[in-house]
Structure 1
Amino acid sequence: MKPEPRNLLLAAFISFLAIPAGLRAQVKPETQHDFDCYIQSAEARMDARKPFVLADADSALNQKLVRGQKIETIAANGVNPHKLAGGQLYDWIGTVFIPGGSLDRLIRMLQDYDHRPQFFPETISTSKLLCRTGENHFRYTMQLKEPAVIDVESDVVWERVDQHRWRCRSYSTHTSEVGKDHGYLRRLYSYWRFEEGDKGIYVESETITLSDEFGSMARTFGSMLLGINPEKSLRHSLASMRESVLKPGLEIPTLPAGLAACGEAVRPGGCAVAGTQ
């Protein structure tokens, strides 16, 4: 039997309570529930995937990245945006090859959260590291330039898979648009993979964003009418990353000491499902 409406509402409310308090006021419980269910399914798909980066199993994609030096983007789960209850979600994969790059140098640059505007000038205006636990758990804040001026606080966990591969995940814990709130960005989750080969580094990111619900025309032409274009932002980030890490004379300071520990890493609320009768 199908769950009763009251059970579905209960499931949404349970999922809603699992998120940080700073985010609850920005979305409805049913929107958060749909988002959490999507994230749970997306993360299961990522974990089950065999190639570490897509270019490992796709020779045509590999040729575009290595020989063509192109930045490629792929809709990760069908046509964007995905309609949720009270919101819309974008899910993009972006990938780039950095010829001759050093994986160690790239990771050190990306973990320098105090200087992200220097590395990503097209998309970030300010940033600050808030706390750090060990060598792999960070929390920082940044101000985005697009689709509007938006303050985002994120919790990031890094994992070294082996000598030649890293991955990390970043969950936004707070978003706030400066000035009038248009609802352009409510959640920003990203999942990064880095693989060092003989000729350079493969970088791949799956970025999942949540915005408020807009009309059908705005959803269809969102990038033109509203300025919501996560694919464009992802391309800018990958291009800036490649350019910055290859810049001669790039100096990367050591991680600051004396910061407070971040505490327990953030995890998504999960897709709560109420029992049936």
Structure 2
Amino acid sequence: MDRHMARRWLMFNAVGGMGVGVQLLTLGLLADGLGLDYRLGTALAVLAAVLHNFVWHEHWTWGDRCAGRRGRWARLGSFTLVNGSLSIAGNVLFTSLYVTAFDIHHVPANLMAIATCSVANFLASHHVVFRAAAKPAALAAALAAGNVTGLGAAELKDKTVAAWERYVAATERRIAGELDDAERFLALDFARGAAEARRKVLAGGVVVERMQARDAAGRKLKVPSGAIHHWRGSILIPGITLDDLLHGLMHAVAPEEIQKDVLESRLIASEGDRREVFLKVRRESVVTVHYNTEHRVEYSRNGPGRASSRSASTRIAELEDAGLPAEREKPIGRDRGFLWRLNAYWRYQAVDGGVVVECESVSLSRGVPPVLNWMIRPIINRTARAALSDTLTSMARVLPERAVIPAETLPASWPAP
């Protein structure tokens, strides 16, 4: 973007910011004040903002192209046709989509819709309305089609599952190699800044980092029609032995006691060091979603003072009307796509004064539309980081009090050293 284009973009956004205020104020008055349906209110609010913005763009943003009154009505017609139709259709469509898909109030949903349409509106204004060349209707249709792409029904595709399986295979190959290392054990020991990270954990801090699996050539593994969220967190649980900690996780402490997103749990099957468990989960990020999930969990010893576990989801079903009599599961893989797969890889290392616990969480969801990535991605990352940190902190609080093995016996299913 050249200097002049960048200047126009800043001016366009300044006008747009004022237009947002006009649009939200109008929507609030119509929907909340007069009780008008929010869809109709959105359309009228956008129309008010379109007229407001045109006046400013005519005299300021593209003032050098609009000297005098000549052509003003033609420009207003083009602006209304291109920006107006795109904004009204886009805002009504996206506001409705976000209200339904994200289960949020219509005002924040409308803010998200405004962000979605802003880039398309600028390009249409610059290349169509204030430059007599292109055909408005054709460009508007193309821009609208480009913004709508990827926001339809979320369906888990075979190519997405295949990419997930490649990602998991690469992750598990790396983990297997790290677990066999004679000197290092935790994943953070193999990362940059390992010494400083370990010092922070042993001093009582929580270290949470985002991760990325790579192929043999060092390239990032991509997931078509999906997104993988890969995080690692580590914490010291003081005043506990490795045996007591494993006993607590396997026998004494229910998952909902240490994970606030777990609403209920039950053991489906148990054989030796393997578990099949059911978890009812509530996930809160951009939206709040409930799931019925099932997981296969296996614990292992990895030498003196070392242990690990692997949890892999075998079934994830999003719930509709969660907590109500009409609660039911949506078709698996044909839901809103916020959680399709979930694996967790845990490591436990005895140290002086306690046990270091480390978790790698790897999950699969639908992808974020590129036009919304700048807005949604930071929220997702912030929420994921906080959730992992909260779980680890909760473990450090609960396990030392609840995980002591009864002195008279050890469980028959205890992992052998």
TM-score, normalization by structure 1: 0.72
Shift of residue 188, structure 1, vs aligned partner: 0.3
Instruction: Quote the Cα distance in structure 2 between the aligned partners of 1:217 and 1:71.
Output: 33
1:72 maps to 207
| SS state at 1:33 partner | helix
Q: Which amino acid aligns with 1:42?
A: T
- CA–CA distance in structure 2, aligned partners of residues 65 and 202 of structure 1: 8
The 1:194–1:256 alpha-carbon spacing in structure 2 relative to 1, beyond 3 Å, is closer
Offset at residue 214 of structure 1 (A): 2.4
The one-letter amino acid paired with 2:227 is Q
CA contact (8 A) 2:313 2:341 kept: yes
Distance 1:143 1:47 in 2: 30
- The answer as to whether partners of 1:194 and 1:202 remain within 8 angstroms in 2 is yes
1:187-211 alpha-carbon deviations (Å, 9 max, x no partner): 0011110001122111111111000
- Aligned partners of 1:82 and 1:88 also within 8 Å: no
Equivalent pairs, count: 228
Deviation at residue 115 of structure 1 after TM alignment: 2.2
Q: Which has the higher contact order (CA 8 A, sep 6+)?
A: 1
In the other structure, the counterpart of 1:140 is 277
In terms of fraction of residues, the more helix-rich structure is: 2
Q: 2:396 aligns with which of 242, 255, 261?
A: 242
SS of structure 1 residue aligned to 2:302: strand
RMSD, matched Cα: 3.1
In 1, Cα distance between equivalents of 2:196 and 2:382 = 29
Aligned match of 2:175: 46
Kindly indicate whether the alpha-carbon contact (under 8 Å) linking 2:348 and 2:357 is maintained by their aligned counterparts in 1. Answer: yes
Q: Hey, what's the Cα distance between the residues in 1 that align with 2:281 and 2:258? A: 13
Q: 1:192-245: CA deviations, max 9, x gaps?
A: 100011221111111110001221244444366679933322212111111111
1:31 aligns with 2:187: no
Alpha-carbon separation, structure 2, partners of 1:194 and 1:44: 19
Post-superposition Cα deviations, 1:100-157, rounded to whole Å, max 9, x if no partner, equal 222122111211388221232x2211000000111x1100011112132222100011
Residues 145 and 228 of structure 1, relative CA distance in 2, 3 Å threshold: farther
Q: Retained in 1: the 8 A contact 2:247–2:403? A: no
Bigger Rg over Cα: 2
Does residue 1:163 correspond to 2:292, yes or no?
no
Is 2:367 the counterpart of 1:213?
yes
TM-score (norm 2): 0.49
CA offset at residue 54 of structure 1?
4.0
Task: Decide whether the 8 Å contact of 2:167 with 2:221 is kept in 1.
Answer: no
Q: 1:55 to 1:171 in 2, by over 3 A?
A: closer
Q: Secondary structure at the match of 1:235?
A: helix
Aligned residue identity for 2:280: Q
Unaligned runs of 5+ in 1: 1-24, 258-277
Distance (Å, rounded) in 2 between the aligned partners of 1:211 and 1:228? 16
Structure 2's unaligned 5+ residue stretches are 1-153, 214-219, 321-329, 413-417
CA distance 1:32–1:194, change in 2 (3 Å): same
Q: Which among 102, 109, 114 is matched to residue 241 of structure 2?
A: 102
1:59-78 deviations in Å (ceiling 9; x for gaps): 211221122x2111112227
Kept after mapping to 2: 8 A contact 1:108/1:252: yes
Quickly say closer, same or farther: Cα 1:154–1:220, change in 2 above 3 A: farther
SS in 2 for 1:85: coil
Q: Greater strand percent: which structure? A: 1
Amino acid at match of 1:170: S
Cα gap change, 1:224 to 1:74, in 2 (>3 Å): closer
